[in-house]
Amino acid sequence: MKLNDIVIQTTTKFVLFIILAFSIFIFFNGHHHPGGGFIGGLMTSAAITLLLLAFDFETVKRILPIDFKILTASGMLIATLTGMGGLVFGGPFLSHTFGYVHLPFFGEVELATALLFDLGVYFVVVGSALTIIEMIGGDQ
């Protein structure tokens, strides 16, 4: 029985990209302002969950052919290795550094190694949130 799918599906197609764009903005906003990997990851998972609600599981698997458990594991690996980067350069674990680079279009941008750590957190959050949803909702 599919009655109202058309409304939610049409809306999702537009809203999805707004949510994703905003989640990426929030992710990059993290270092000096509210935001970061955790909240950005949650927002991305929310976007994908919306996609799941509007369409079905097979569609989402076709669009995103990723094993979310592997995504979680990669996130953990990235975060830990970033932390260990400090050890390689003789500093303590988790020590970080930053620099300013000039990018076309964006201008002067501050890049910190904490961003890499946050990327790991982002993957872990997206991966584990979607694994849980996959476990609970995947059977139907």
Using CB under 8 A, list all residues that contact other proteins. Answer: 69-70, 72-73, 76-77, 80, 84, 86-87, 91-96
Q: Quick one: which H or E segment has residue 78?
A: helix 68-88
Closest separation between CB of residue 102 and other proteins, Å? 27
Closest separation between CB of residue 74 and other proteins, Å? 8
Closest separation between CB of residue 93 and other proteins, Å? 5
Q: Which two tokens stand for residue 51?
A: 């996609």
| CB nearer other proteins, residue 91 or residue 137 | 91
Q: Which two tokens stand for residue 95?
A: 């020590």
| CB nearer other proteins, residue 12 or residue 128 | 128
| CB nearer other proteins, residue 23 or residue 85 | 85
Q: What is the DSSP string of 3-45?
A: SSHHHHHHHHHHHHHHHHHHHHHHHHHTTTSS--HHHHHHHHH
Closest separation between CB of residue 81 and other proteins, Å? 9
**Residue 62 DSSP symbol:** H
Bridge partners for 107 per DSSP: 103
| CB nearer other proteins, residue 49 or residue 74 | 74
Rounded Cα distance, 40 and 21, in Å: 10
